[in-house]
Structure 1
């Protein structure tokens, strides 16, 4: 087995056996490609089945000079998964990554936006332009439903169950969940659909997608990032934000206002509640309030 064949087989495994999204598969592929390119640059002719811990350790030392510890840890994790697959398929007897240490990382709390900052971003949208109503509906949905950007751009008209106050979301691994949607969020989506979308010439392959570009096709992830970046610059927001910031803010604000952590976990589509806890910017005042309200001695 050579590297190209190993990568291709692993991609098929991730897609068919693991049910991962294209973006996740691309991420794992990039990790392996980094190792492959390193071996080629150093004229090291070693197959995936033959490479040893020493060669991989040299690669990790090289990687440490090029990327941040967080990126280094991600690549190591990706390679560990690849070699686990090779062991599973009997191409190897051992995983050479098992004894290679991952850099120690401090816990990084995600950035969040205050409600005032979210309101300012939405207020900065130019509603005189056709895309204004769409962009307002996009931000309201990112924040109102806590969606990932990939979930937002794949949202379809057939996923809207407004009579029941839910939308159907397709998350990682094509797993579907139902997320509640507020009346104000429904209002802005309906305004976009009734005033803007209905007048567009929609590509026949994109008829069911909710959010469309000017050409009547599905929006890209990059376009959502651009919309948010431009709005942040417009209000001179000093924070570095992305579509995921609205998801963090959604979870954080729900928790701070007394929502149950398990309910937030279900809405976010997390398999483990430990993942949900990482999203929470819980300040000490909030914890003190919880103690005062719920502890019997208070």
Structure 2
């Protein structure tokens, strides 16, 4: 009988019953499986036998595999959440993770798209015809209009990809979208700019025509058979469009979130307001974007004003 696995299964079920995001649950499952495999290799088969030393050794093993400090710290956060659950359910007294410290992370600059790259991806999304797949013209048109809308919403609203996929037609009211399934199940409103509203009107006309005789799910974005568009499908779409546009960066929905956040800050929107738009629980998270933006702007501003460059000009 595998008691540790039983506890993990119950923890995951608890997370699902609390309606945690699918991505969060997927990450919990993956990381706890790795931790369980490590415990199995050490012949540890009972929760009570897990000590702080075992957790540290597991994290060190991840470090030796070349994992980044941020990835290792996420592991520790997941393991801590698991033990907090065990304590709350009174399956265990004490929490060994309290004696385990987080790894010191290197501060990294967030690299995102330029305005030109975003415009190029919007252009490519609008033109892609998927020539490798022989489909009726109406199908290609629907997909092209939908894909352009996806890029525009991600770039303009800083929306998370799972939030985008969960939008229903009924969530759109005028120039606003109600995000019902935000992180930690928090609701918030997102403003829709004039360019998005224009594309949205076009998309709805094409969508209605394409699925005229097909029963579809009540979601804004749907696939070719009328089902809700998945997170994986959007991620694959962004990578494909990025490749078509020759973007030499990590092309993902989250990169668009970075772009949107930094652009809002560059345009003078205050940190608190940007934090609300992003759905952050604290402005400290949003300040990461601010630090990266400020560093980038300082570098650009001082590019041709270094001491030696100025000396050379005077001579």
TM interval, shorter chain, is 0.7 to 0.9
Q: Deviations over 1:113-134 (max 9, x none)?
A: 1111110111112265321101
Report the alpha carbon displacement of residue 277 of structure 1 after superposing the two structures with TM: 1.5
Mapped to 2, the partners of 1:256 and 1:81 lie a distance apart of: 36
Query: 2:44, 2:50 within 8 Å by CA — same for their partners in 1?
Result: no
Mapped to 2, the partners of 1:112 and 1:193 lie a distance apart of: 30
Q: Deviations over 1:149-172 (max 9, x none)?
A: 10111111001112xx21111311
Aligned to 2:305: none
Mapped to 2, the partners of 1:64 and 1:197 lie a distance apart of: 52
Report the alpha carbon displacement of residue 251 of structure 1 after superposing the two structures with TM: 1.1
TM-score after normalising by structure 2: 0.83
Mapped to 2, the partners of 1:152 and 1:76 lie a distance apart of: 29
Q: Deviations over 1:20-51 (max 9, x none)?
A: 22221221222221111122234x13312331
Query: 1:228, 1:243 within 8 Å by CA — same for their partners in 2?
Result: yes
Aligned length: 283
Mapped to 2, the partners of 1:103 and 1:285 lie a distance apart of: 26
Alpha carbons of 1:202 and 1:283: their partners in 2 closer, same or farther (altered >3 Å)? farther
Matches within 5 A, 1:1-298: 2-17=3-18, 19-42=19-42, 44-66=43-65, 67-125=67-125, 126=127, 129-130=140-141, 131-162=143-174, 165-170=175-180, 171-200=182-211, 204=215, 206-280=216-290, 281-283=292-294
| Unaligned residue ranges in structure 1 (runs of 5+) | 288-298
Report the alpha carbon displacement of residue 213 of structure 1 after superposing the two structures with TM: 1.0
Q: Deviations over 1:72-96 (max 9, x none)?
A: 1111121112112222222222211
Deviation larger for 151-160 or 118-127: 118-127
SS state of the match for residue 48, structure 2?
Answer: coil
Report the alpha carbon displacement of residue 201 of structure 1 after superposing the two structures with TM: 5.9
Query: 1:157, 1:209 within 8 Å by CA — same for their partners in 2?
Result: yes
Query: 1:167, 1:179 within 8 Å by CA — same for their partners in 2?
Result: yes
| Unaligned residue ranges in structure 2 (runs of 5+) | 130-139, 299-315
Mapped to 1, the partners of 2:194 and 2:45 lie a distance apart of: 59
Report the alpha carbon displacement of residue 100 of structure 1 after superposing the two structures with TM: 2.0
Structure having the higher helix fraction is 2
Deviation larger for 84-93 or 270-279: 84-93
RMSD: 2.2
Mapped to 2, the partners of 1:203 and 1:56 lie a distance apart of: 53
Alpha carbons of 1:272 and 1:47: their partners in 2 closer, same or farther (altered >3 Å)? same
TM-score after normalising by structure 1: 0.87
Mapped to 2, the partners of 1:121 and 1:38 lie a distance apart of: 43
Mapped to 1, the partners of 2:45 and 2:226 lie a distance apart of: 48
Mapped to 2, the partners of 1:134 and 1:15 lie a distance apart of: 30
Query: 2:38, 2:58 within 8 Å by CA — same for their partners in 1?
Result: yes
Mapped to 1, the partners of 2:128 and 2:212 lie a distance apart of: 20
Aligned to 1:290: none
